[in-house]
Amino acid sequence: MGDVAQSVIRAEADELHDRQSNIVSVPIVQVLPGDSPRLEGEDKTHVLRLAAVETQLPPIMIDRRTMRVIDGIHRLMAASIKGQSYIDVEFFDGSREDAFLKAVEANVEHGLPLTQADRTAAALRILKSHPNMSDRAIAKSTGLGARAVAELRRSSESVPKLNFRVGRDGKVRPLDAAKGRLRVAELIKENPEASLRQVARRAGVSPATALDVRRRLERGEKPVPSQGGTATCETVTPRDPLPGVTLEKLMRDPSLRQSELGRRLLRMLKENVVGGQDMTDIVASVPSHCIDLAIQLSRHNSRIWEDFAQELKRRSQALSPE
């Protein structure tokens, strides 16, 4: 067996071990029904079929915060019929919208298949909650075709119209960079004190684009570069993966997970990525008498992370000299 094949097997084994270590047994009475993508509810026949299985069924997935089922309601009902007091669960941490997306993906990947109506309704709901996801990404999650998802997006007035999409690879691809930049300029003029994250979210562009527009306005330049400059490039050039996607790749790397320092780094990165998503709300929550201290510590931490990035860059250059 080749080295590559052995590495793949080891990585899969490490991932399986990590999943198993995250599985805990909880009292069935503490687990609540979740937000199922099945329009007709549970299949009683399937529950009885599972209850007749003598071997142990896979763990169910539940929302850690609400204890509601994300994947495995039929297995939960079967365990209850069999008189079990406890059931193995794997916890999910995330928003309600992300939990529903996970439920759809899990039901598409395995178990009792979703009906066409189930998948269509799920796709429409995901379009509303995750309008930045590309048609292909939603199609993969729901089991529909990309054309069907695109038609749902066009025909539904309740789906937010954004200027970019996040593909299956996690990269942001603007649809109309010029329009997004003009909208950013309007928002900045309306409210110069608004944060870049707020402006970017309302305009449907990335924070980096919002920053570039603001700097252009400060220099007295037009928000949209002329002669096919940055705006044209943005339309065809994928951006860097979103922080959450990059973090997920690092979290899956066995070489980091197997060392104490590696796990410590992952925890630090995870805290920063997750915290960054709620930064606007956090800023608003800081008491006025704590603002100066928070600024001081934030800048200190920023310098530490910048030094860390520079050290990594120097190490990368030393390992791969041109």
Distance, in Å, from the CA atom of 122 to the CA atom of 107, rounded to the nearest integer, reads: 11
Q: Which of 161, 189, 221 is the last residue of a domain?
A: 161
pLDDT given for residue 90 in this prediction: 94
- pLDDT at residue 137 is higher than 70: yes
Residue 280: pLDDT over 80: no
Domain residue limits at 155 = 115-161
| C-beta of residue 164 within 8 angstroms of C-beta of residue 206 | yes
Q: Which of 14-28, 101-115, 289-303 has the lowest mean pLDDT?
A: 14-28
The arithmetic mean of pLDDT across residues 202-209, rounded, is: 78
pLDDT of residue 169: 60
Please report the pLDDT score of residue 50 as a whole number: 94
CATH number for the domain that contains residue 80:
3.90.1530.10
Tell me, yes or no, whether 318 lies in a domain.
no
Is pLDDT of 242 > 70? no
In a domain, 280, yes or no: no
Residues 23 and 83 grouped into a single domain: yes
**What's the mean pLDDT in 144-161?**
83
Of 232 and 262, the one with more pLDDT: 262
Q: Quote the pLDDT of residue 4.
A: 44
In three state form, how does the secondary structure of 54-109 look?
CCCCCCEEEECCCCEEEECHHHHHHHHHCCCCEEEEEEECCCHHHHHHHHHHHHHH
Number of other CB atoms surrounding residue 224 within 10 Å: 19
In a domain, 322, yes or no: no
38 and 91 inside one domain: yes
* DSSP letter for each residue of 228-258: S-HHHHHHHSPPPBPHHHHHHHHHT-HHHHT
Residue at 72 is within a domain: yes
* Structure confidence by residue, pLDDT tens digits, 264-279: 888 888 777 655 545 6
Is residue 2 one of the residues assigned to a domain?
Answer: no
Predicted confidence band at 109 (pLDDT cuts at 50, 70, 90)? confident
Number of domains present in the structure of the chain: 3
Residues 179, 163: contact at Cβ < 8 Å?
A: yes
pLDDT of residue 32: 95
Percentage of the residues of the chain whose pLDDT score is greater than 90: 34
pLDDT at position 238, please? 46
Query: Of 236, 254, 284, which one is at a domain's C-terminal end?
Result: 236
Q: Is the pLDDT of residue 236 over 50?
A: no
pLDDT at 165: 64
Residue 206 has pLDDT above 50, yes or no: yes
- In this predicted structure, what is the pLDDT of residue 5? 46
Mean pLDDT for the stretch of residues 238-251: 65
Cα separation, 175 vs 158, in Å, equals 19
pTM confidence score:
0.50
CA angle at 215 for the pair 212 and 217, rounded to the nearest 5°? 110
Residues 137, 162: contact at Cβ < 8 Å? no
For the stretch 11-32, pLDDT in tens is 545 555 555 567 899 999 999 9
Residue pLDDT, tens place only, 69-96: 999 999 999 999 999 999 999 999 888 9
Please indicate, yes or no, if residue 313 is contained in any of the structural domains.
no
Over the stretch 173-205, which tens digit does the pLDDT of each residue have?
A: 656 678 888 889 999 999 988 888 888 878 877
If you average pLDDT over every residue of the chain, what do you get? 81
User: Rounded mean pLDDT of 215-242?
Assistant: 64
Q: What is the pLDDT of residues 38-47, one digit of tens each?
A: 988 899 999 9
Do 32 and 97 reside in the same domain of the chain?
yes
